[in-house]
Structure 1
Amino acid sequence: MRKSTERKRPKTNPAFAIVVDGETEVWYLRMLKRNEPKIRVTIKPEIPDKKSIKEQYNLVCDLSNKEFTKVFWIIDLDSVIKEDNETPKGKESPLKIFKKYRAELKANPNIVVIVNNPCLEFWFLLHFKKTSKYYGSCSSVEKELKNYLDKYEKTQKFFTKQDNDIYLKLKPKLQVAIENAKALGSYDEENSKKAMCEMELLFLSDELKKLFDPKP
């Protein structure tokens, strides 16, 4: 198993590497950085060539040994469950592998694992609605989201439109989303059908909370 190690960080502006498994996360994170000029943090989304749990984990470990202040690993649990369901009998369960990786990475304070169940779009939905409903697929969340985001579509054009991108659409309700996400609690390893969103771990990280936490 690959090991991540703690390194002394240079005294420069903080830099975050964020490992994701899809373009939706990349577009959203880029728009976050584009629209928040006060963020003195380099945010670099990273997608591994192969998106299996093992490949994502390997990338997290590799990046943690480079000059990043923190490495975030954003997991869409529906992807893990899908991979788990497609795994032939006799092979180790990807869901069990993820749980093992997550437990191991907890020992490194420079790595933060963020679990969304089913997907990042649930985070978008929490900007408009406080809910603990479990959505079995990302498509079901997207369907609900369209009730609040007019003409929502999972395309780069929609997410990155100048002066009307996904982050700007959601920003007025960001504090609502953070509180709604916190209300759901932490990832429950024993319940893969628990609605979950841990995106507040990014926005309320030590490096960003002065901008996004309204509490003194």
Structure 2
Amino acid sequence: MPREREELFRDSGFADKEKIIVLAFEGNDTEQIYFEEFKDSKKFNDDLIYLHLLKRPKSDTNSAPNHVFKKLKKEAKDEYNFNEHDELWMVIDTDRWKNIPEIIEECKKLDNMFVAVSNPCFELWLLLHIKNVSDYKEEELELILRNAKITSKKNYLDVKLTEILGSYNKSNPKPELFIPHLKIAIDQAKRLNAKNEDFPTSLGSHVYKIVEKLIKV
């Protein structure tokens, strides 16, 4: 039998919150570190919202969207009686998994469950904080979208972030370099989503849909 949502608030020490937003990630490090930093920053609106991050153990290397979906549903939606205002979000990429349309359709069948997809990956969302992508020529945008592997540990977007920041590491993305520029990232991501798609079929990131709900206005 599902537990009452108040138990989550009481266990977490946030009994005064009116809304739960739960996030589950495809990646082990980057996304979780980014949102933990955002959650602790002055830009996070914690007046009414309790943000809960579903943490995946390092030993859990299964990052397929189906796995993330089942984890989010089992550990959050099936665990607590969420009300109509609470939301559960999957944060996933297109560069490794091709069944995202099916995942989105499954979420549409359920109350409260949503998907924030980045194409090609979460690093594009980071890039939008610190670079005006309209400055890139079409050829460069194609390379970013393709996001080919450059070295054993870096893809093309990792290299672009390194060029701008001097260094970039997925396991230590230094979110403090990005968080101050959240509104820039949101504005750029919205422009890339001019077609208002369920998920970006070209270059884009829908992570802004979550961040807009969490940021102080």
Q: Normalized against structure 2, the TM-score is what?
A: 0.70
Deviations 1:165-211 (A, max 9, x none): x232112321111000011114466x84x101011111122xx25x1
Specify the code of the residue in structure 2 equivalent to 1:47.
Answer: R
Kindly indicate whether the alpha-carbon contact (under 8 Å) linking 1:29 and 1:45 is maintained by their aligned counterparts in 2: no
Q: 1:180 pairs with 184, 188, 206, which one? A: 188
Deviations 1:131-184 (A, max 9, x none): 37242127111111122223222233xx3xxxxxx2321123211110000111
1:83 corresponds in structure 2 to: none
Residue 115 of structure 1: how far off its partner (Å): 0.5
Q: Kindly tell me the number of residue pairs found equivalent between the two proteins.
A: 179
The change in CA–CA distance for 1:144 and 1:187 in structure 2 (over 3 A counts) is farther
The change in CA–CA distance for 1:183 and 1:8 in structure 2 (over 3 A counts) is farther
Kindly indicate whether the alpha-carbon contact (under 8 Å) linking 2:104 and 2:114 is maintained by their aligned counterparts in 1: no
2:12 corresponds in structure 1 to: none
Q: RMSD across aligned C-alpha pairs, in angstroms?
A: 2.8
Specify the code of the residue in structure 2 equivalent to 1:64.
Answer: K
141-150 or 60-69: bigger deviation? 60-69
2:26 corresponds in structure 1 to: 21
1:84 corresponds in structure 2 to: none
Q: Note the residue ranges of structure 2 that are not aligned, 5 or more in a row.
A: 7-14, 135-140, 149-154
Distance 1:52 1:117 in 2: 15
Whether 1:64 aligns to 2:70 is no
2:65 corresponds in structure 1 to: 53
1:155 corresponds in structure 2 to: 171
Whether 1:31 aligns to 2:37 is yes
Whether 1:171 aligns to 2:179 is yes
Whether 1:137 aligns to 2:147 is yes
Q: 1:117 pairs with 110, 119, 130, which one? A: 119
Kindly indicate whether the alpha-carbon contact (under 8 Å) linking 2:33 and 2:175 is maintained by their aligned counterparts in 1: no
Distance 1:114 1:19 in 2: 10
Whether 1:73 aligns to 2:72 is no
Kindly indicate whether the alpha-carbon contact (under 8 Å) linking 2:26 and 2:65 is maintained by their aligned counterparts in 1: no
| More RCO (CA 8 Å, sep 6+) | 2
Q: Note the residue ranges of structure 1 that are not aligned, 5 or more in a row.
A: 1-6, 81-94, 160-165
1:104 corresponds in structure 2 to: 106
Q: Normalized against structure 1, the TM-score is what?
A: 0.71
Distance 2:198 2:211 in 1: 21
